[in-house]
Every structure is written in C-alpha cells, then in structure tokens.
A and B are shown apart, each in its own frame.
Chain A
Amino acid sequence: MNIHEYQAKELLKSYDVPVPVGGVAYSDKQAAQVAVDIGGSKWVVKAQIHAGGRGKAGGVKLVHSIDEVKKTADAMIGSHLVTHQTGPEGALVHRVWVEQASVIKREFYLGFVIDRATQRITVVASSEGGVDIEEVAKAAPDKIVKEVVDPAIGLRDFQCRKIATGIGLKGRLMPQAVKMMKSIYRCMRDKDALQAEINPLAVVSVGEEEKLLVLDAKFNFDDNALYRQRGITDLRDLAEEEPKEVEASGHGLNYIALDGNIGCIVNGAGLAMASLDAITLHGGRPANFLDVGGGASPEKVTNACRIVLQDPNVKAILVNIFAGINRCDWIALGLIQACNHLNIKVPLVVRLAGTNVDEGRKILAESGLTFINAENLDAAAAKAVAIVKETAL
C-alpha cells in the first residue's frame, strides 16, 4: 500500500525526522490559508498523487506570493497530472501540499528497502540526490553506499556514520544524519513498511546554519501486515487505485487490468502469469491478470467473471484452473452461476485439471450451456486466441 507525500512527511515528523513546515489543502483558498499560517516569503505547491515524476510533469511549483499559491493550487486541484508513471490519462489531483521553500545546498538519496538477496533491511544512500537511483546504480555504482541491518540488533550508530561519510555528510551534519537514519529505520520496522525512500534528502541553509531536511518521501507498506497497522490502513487513498482492482480485492481476488481483449480467470499467480504468457505466445493479448486464489467458492468465481466482463474490450474469457486446494466442481458451479446471472455474451474457453476434475467437467457438460473445453494449457490459449481472431474478422 502506498501513501501520499504529505502523509509520509507527517509520519516522519512523528518520528522527529525534520521535514519542511507545511500543510495539506483541498482547495485554492485552503492552500492560501496554509501559506499564510506557515509564513515565509516563498512556498512550494506540490500536487498530491501517488505516481512519481511529478516535478517534470508540472506538479511541483515554486511560488513567491500568497496570490500565486492560490492560483497554482487552483490550477492543480481538479486537473489530471500526466507523469511517466500515470499513463496517458493521468491522475486526478484532489489535494496539494504547501510548504516553505528551502535554500537547498546539496541533495542526496536515502532509501530503506528489504533486500531480497540478504533478506534484511538494507540502507541505500547516494550523494546523487533528486534523480532516479536505478540510473545512478547503472551509471555510477561507486556513488552508492549500502549497509545491511541485522534485525536482531537494529541499525547501529557506526553503520549510520559509515553511510554519512560515504555520501559526504560530515561535521555537524553527521550527528543529524545518524539520528535521522535511526528514526526512519525505527519507523519502517514499527509500521511494517516494505520501502521508505527519501529523495531528495537535502542540506539546506537556515540563516548561518546548515541542516538536513526531507524534501520528498515515499513509503510502501506491507499489505500482509495491515491487519496490525490500523493507523497506516487509515491513510489508504482508494481514489488512487484502479476501481476494478479495489472491487476485486474486496472479493479476495487478485486482478490487474491489462490492455488486451482475452479475459483471464486462473488459480495461482504462477499459472495466471503463465496463462498470459501462453496467450501472448499464440499471438493474442490478455485483458487482465486474475488469480482466484485457493479454495475459491462458486460465488468467488461468479464475481471473477463479473469483474473481468466489466472491461468492454473483453471478447473471450479463458478459464484455466489447476486445482490443488481448489475444487473443479465448485469452479464449474461458479461458471454456470455466472452464465445464468450475468448474461455472458462472449465465449468461455475452460480448462479444468486437478482436484475433482471429473465432477467439474460433468457439471459443465450437463449444464446445457456452451463452454469450449480445452484439454491443456496450450490448447486453451490457442482456442481463446483463435476465437478472438475470428470475431475480429
């Protein structure tokens, strides 16, 4: 689960991590009021959407008057911001974050991830801030420093000092960096975050002093741990998620919309991916990824059909079930229920295998409905692709 920048900054603030003084606003008037309240002479107005790449897309503006704050907020709120991560339709901006502008001296990257190779939280930092860390990793891997954290001992001061030194945070900035890293580590662990990314982390001038400040922050939380993270769950913004995916997850289904025309209903993530691959290899284009999961009831299968059919591009549905903990008879009953209730007009290609396969096939055969049976994965994909090609002619 992702959260907005303003939520991330508020979360970090609660861990004593320095963030700019600012506030969230849902209207131009509110934005102006925030600017008045926080004071200063220069502000940054930032569109709040989950997707990255806001700066280049015009979603981050430096302004010099309260009037400009108002105008900028007015232009942003209600607009669709198109970034390289949103797709061409963009993301609707519901709110902006207004903060005091900082005098930035230098920018850094500071990330906390769960590294799959070491299976531990790893701190990744770079003297190259404000840019894509993947690009830095490719172009200048020597500019990236890493520290792996032993979960039994936690992130130690000396590790933080190594990182600080590695990216050039010296003198009076070093103790600030140590404190900040330890706080973010604690936050990540307390809140079951998968990832915390501070990019950029900045050295800013405050009068004569230099201090560290978080200019942008991204968090990604573990969906599997939300049951014990009430405060985090409350931060979820459903408007940022694909409505069909939200509906599917409410039914215990894992659905991802794609841009093809063959709807897919499969059990198990691996087989679901392989089914999409098989369709693609036969020259077809899958409309979605859908995993019905284990122990799928007939109702769950009916819901799966309904969600897949909400996509108007779907010209045929491929049902591929290899039942282990599932039951083919329940799947078959669900398909019949779906046909009876949903007025399905597109052909259904059905491949059943595994637990109770004979019962499942019998139920389909005796239903009086038309299902196109397939013996195996290859045949199922081939038939679905052929049907879609025929209907296109």
Chain B
Amino acid sequence: MSVFVNKKSKVIFQGFTGEHASFHAQDAMSIGTNVVGGVTPGKGGTMHLGLPVFDTVAEAVAATGADVSGVFVPPPFNADALMEAIDAGIKVAVTIADGIPIHDMVRLQRYRIGRDAILIGPNSPGIITPGECKVGIMPSHIYKKGNIGIVSRSGTLNYEATEQMSSLGIGISTSVGIGGDPINGTDFVTVLKAFEADPETEIVVMIGEIGGPQEVAAARWAQKNMSKPLVGFVAGVSAPPGRRMGHAGAIISSESDTASAKMDTMEALGLYVARNPAHIGQTVLQAMREHGVKV
C-alpha cells in the first residue's frame, strides 16, 4: 500500500518534452516508476525517452491506460492542463508549478466538484512512494522505504525532514507535498485521511508554515478521527507579520496565522510538536518509541 501512488500507477507527464519533465521522468523511472508516456501538444506521434508522445491527455489515457499525471506545464497554462487531465479521467494529477494565478485556481477548484480526481499541488515538490513511484521534483535518493507518512506545504522542508529521519534510520511510506500556494488542490485533512487508512503508514508527520487555517483544521480533525500518532512542525516563528515569505500562501494576516499560535494549538490537541526545525527527526523517533513503532 501507500497513499495516492504506488508501483501499479501508470504515469504520464504533461509538458513531457520540456527540460524539467524530462529530467524528473528519467529520475522517476530510475526508482521504478511506471512511466507510460507523455503529452506535448504539437508533438503527438513522436517518441521521447523511448516513450510515446501524445497531443492530448485523452489520447494518452486511451492508448496507455494512464491514471496519474505529472503536470510540468508553465504557470499561465497549468490550470488548463490540470482540467484537461481531470477531463480525460486521470485520477491523481500532480502540479509542480509555482505561480499559477489564484483566480485560475478558484475556477479549477470549482471545476473539480463532482469529478473524482486527486490534485496534488500547485507549488509542490510532488509525491513519492519510495521504491515504487515518484511524480515530482524531489531528490529521490534521500527517500528510503519505511512506515512514516509525510505531508508538507514546503518542498525543501519536506527534504529536510526526510533527511533528519533517514539519518536516524527512519523510512517513508509516502511523502506528499501539498504546496505553498494559498489554494491547494489537496489539503492536509485529505492526506491525513489517506494515511490513516493506509496499513503501511504507522506515524504521520505534518509540516506546515505561517498563513491560513489549515494546519489547525487538520490537527482538530486528527484529534477526533486519527488513531495514528501525528507529529507537527510549523515554519516561520521568526517571520514578521504582513510579509509574504516566499510562498504565496505564507503570510501572517491574523494572530491565528502565526507559527507559534498554530504549534500551541497543535500541542493542546495532543500532537507531538517539533518546536525546532532541526528536531523533526528526533520528535518522530520519540513518537515511535512511545507508541512501540519499529524503525
């Protein structure tokens, strides 16, 4: 098992022939990802990386049975590409793009209503189930197979947490980057639900940041609905209010948006909270010990 993607996933890349898509498609294949082709409008009928290229996602799905798409399309065209993927029956669409206009996301989220597809991102490192499937831009060699689920807004902080765990011998079931934008295709709660249902995941790490209500909403949901221990960290205790800290969504607009306020609430709701970004690995280890979870 694992969540959202596994070794059975049939993956295509949209914007397949571009530089980043090519690089990460190859890296994905090197860890065993079942990449079945790609889409670049205008290049249909050609081959790339030894795989077929299609003009439309619908053609790619019809020919390959693809159910997962990595959408490596520039921000101005990304929301359209995501709608195309969903329209074609893709079940998990992953978008890396940083810079999709927010009104495009508002429309996209409306479009998704009643359509059964998971959307990971935007502004996300993607998703990886180590040894099975990667759709994203993370350095796959740092992800070792294991029993800890990770969900984060930030990409690099996801890598950071992974390395801290790895240095303690702790591996990952699936790591999901939901992205740093104000509107995420998938929120923390959706990913926590999936981890709760996944037999291979024994503990979940949730890495948030300043801005927005979703870390606290997720912690509240977890307190009522989750049997597995949840470890939390929120970046930005030193961030000044009113400034957008790199990510479009990382801005303190009210007191409840601060990292400290979020971590206080998480702690009050019974989460394991790493107050220091360098202690995420140790905090996971503590949770594992206290719950008899083996590395």
A-side residues, CB < 8 A to B, are: 85, 114, 116-117, 119-121, 134, 150-152, 189, 192, 194, 222-225, 227-228, 254, 256, 258, 266-281, 286, 289, 291, 293-295, 322-325, 353-355, 376-378, 381
B199 at the interface (CB under 8 A from A): no
CA distance A353 to B159 in the complex (A): 9
Say which residue of A189, A192, A223, A270 sits within 8 Å of B209 (CB atoms).
Answer: A270
- Of the A-B pairs whose beta carbons lie under 8 Å apart in the complex, a sample of 7, sorted by A's number, is A114-B183, A269-B209, A269-B246, A277-B237, A354-B139, A377-B277, A378-B279
Residues of B within 8 A of A323 (CB): 139
B225 at the interface (CB under 8 A from A): no
How far, in whole Å, are A378 and B280 apart by their CA atoms in the complex?
11
Tell me the complex Cα distance, A286–B128, Å. 33
Once A and B bind, how many residue pairs between them come within 8 Å at the CB atom?
172
Which of B125, B157, B275, B278 is the most central at the interface, judged by chain A CB atoms within 10 Å of its CB? B278
Whether A324 pairs with B183 at a CB distance below 8 angstroms is no
Task: Assess the B107–A273 pair: CB atoms within 8 A.
Answer: no
Task: Give B280 Cβ to nearest chain A Cβ, in Å.
Answer: 9
In the A-B complex, the 4 residue pairs with the closest CB atoms = A270-B154, A269-B246, A268-B156, A378-B278
What is the interface size of chain B, counting residues whose CB is below 8 A from a CB of the partner? 64
Shortest Cβ distance from A382 into chain B, in angstroms?
9
Residue of A nearest to B27 (CB): A355
B76 at the interface (CB under 8 A from A): yes
Which residues of A lie under 8 Å from residue B157 when comparing CB positions? 268, 270-271, 274
A354 adjacent to B110 (CB under 8 Å): no
Report yes or no: B107 in contact with A151, Cβ–Cβ below 8 A: yes
Residue of A258, A266, A269, A378 touching B247 (CB-CB under 8 A): A269
- A276 interface neighbour in B137, B183, B238, Cβ under 8 Å: B238
Query: Given the interface contacts A273-B209, A278-B278, A376-B278, does A222 sit within 8 Å of B235 by beta carbon?
Result: no
Which B residues are CB-close (under 8 A) to A192?
Answer: 101-103
In contact, A222 and B102 (Cβ under 8 angstroms):
yes
Q: Is the CB of A281 within 8 A of B276?
A: yes
Which of B102, B243, B247 interacts with A194 by CB under 8 Å? B102
Which of B159, B167, B212 is close to A322, meaning CB atoms less than 8 Å apart?
A: B159
Q: Is the CB of A114 within 8 A of B154?
A: no
B246/A377 in contact, CB under 8 A: no
CB nearest to A253 among chain B residues: B246
What residues make up the interface of B, taking CB atoms closer than 8 Å to A?
20, 24, 75-76, 98-107, 109-110, 125, 137-139, 142, 152-160, 163-164, 167, 180, 182-183, 207, 209-210, 212-214, 217, 235-240, 242-243, 245-250, 254, 259, 275-279
12 more A-B contacts (CB under 8 A) besides A116-B212, A119-B105, A289-B246?
A: A119-B183, A151-B106, A222-B101, A256-B245, A271-B156, A273-B235, A273-B246, A274-B277, A276-B239, A277-B235, A277-B237, A325-B137
Interchain nearest-CB distance for A32 vs B (Å): 36
Q: Among A121, A134, A225, find the residue whose CB has the most chain B CB atoms closer than 10 A.
A: A225
Q: Report whether B278 and A269 are in contact in the complex, using a CB–CB cutoff of 8 Å.
A: no
Shortest Cβ distance from residue B209 to the other chain A in the assembled complex, whole angstroms = 6
**Across the interface, do A270 and B103 meet the contact criterion of CB distance under 8 Å?**
no
* Of B158, B163, B182, B247, the contact of A116 (CB 8 Å cutoff): B182
Closest residue to A137 on the B side, CB-wise?
B254
Task: Decide: A324 near B139, CB < 8 A? Known: A268-B155, A274-B160.
Answer: yes
Is B102's CB under 8 angstroms from A225's CB? yes
Q: Which residue of A lies closest to B249 (CB)?
A: A116
Contact A355 B160 (CB under 8 A): no
B99 close to A116 (CB less than 8 A): no
Q: Quick check: A224 and B207 within 8 Å, CB to CB? A: no
Complex CA gap A293/B97 in Å reads 12
Q: Are A377 and B180 in contact (CB under 8 A)?
A: no
CB-CB under 8 A from A254, the residues of chain B are 246
**Pair B101/A225 contact, Cβ less than 8 Å:** yes
- Min distance, Cβ B283 to any Cβ of chain A, angstroms: 13
**A267–B76 CA distance with the chains assembled, in angstroms:** 23
- Are A270's CB and B254's CB within 8 A? no
Q: Which chain A residues border B107 with CB–CB below 8 Å? A: 151-152
| Contacting residue for A150 out of B103, B104, B110, CB 8 A | B110
Taking a contact as CB atoms under 8 Å apart, the answer to whether B152 and A270 are in contact is yes
Neighbouring B residues of A116 by C-beta, 8 Å: 182-183, 212-214, 249
